[in-house]
Amino acid sequence: MRNIVLIGFMGCGKTTMGIKLSYKLHRIMEDTDKWIERNEGCTIREIFATKGEEAFRRIETACIKKMAEDPTVRIISTGGGLPVREENWGPLKKLGHVVYLKISPGEAYDRLKEDTERPLLQCEDPYGRICELLDKREPLYEACADTVILVDGKTVEEVLDEMLTILKEKDVI
């Protein structure tokens, strides 16, 4: 059995799908953002505000490297920016089968427009920022991924069923 690692842009459903997979496969689920908050003793938003994005990215890299050393088989939901650093690609691949939950800018905006907890979207033009970030990140997500699943217009159950089918076909589960 291998870990299942969920990557993708904020709002694509990594945490939701991680929880659903956890129940379905009877595996623990670990969210890298929650892991960081526990270990740092503060929220991601506070880390961005007090230490900056670059410091957060270094903490994120340390987190994924530590997880890669842990033999526990689980579902891992990552922060949306984790695959942006090329140094994280090796630990991600070492962790297990990487599933990219692909979302369009419009769908991401619809899901996130009321969210005030995302530091990178606290700006005058959140839709423009989403487009800018996705434009940079999408090729990186695809480079890291073993499997890509488009989430636009699908229910959680539809995405879950599609993911389970693909993971069974690829002998991941």
What are the boundaries of each domain within the chain?
3-168
Number of Cβ within a 10 Å radius of residue 100: 26
**Contact indicator for 36, 66 with CB cutoff of 8 Å:** no
pLDDT average per 10 residues of sequence, the chain (173 residues): 93 96 96 96 94 94 94 95 92 94 97 83 91 96 96 97 97 93
Q: What is the pLDDT of residue 122?
A: 83
Dist. CA 131–CA 113, nearest whole Å: 13
Task: Give the Å distances, CA to CA, from 92 to 32, 119, 141.
Answer: 12, 24, 11
Beta strands in 23-151 (DSSP E): 28-31, 74-77, 96-102, 147-150
pLDDT of residue 87: 93
Q: Which fold has domain 3-168?
A: Rossmann fold (3.40.50)
Which pLDDT value is given to residue 154?
A: 97
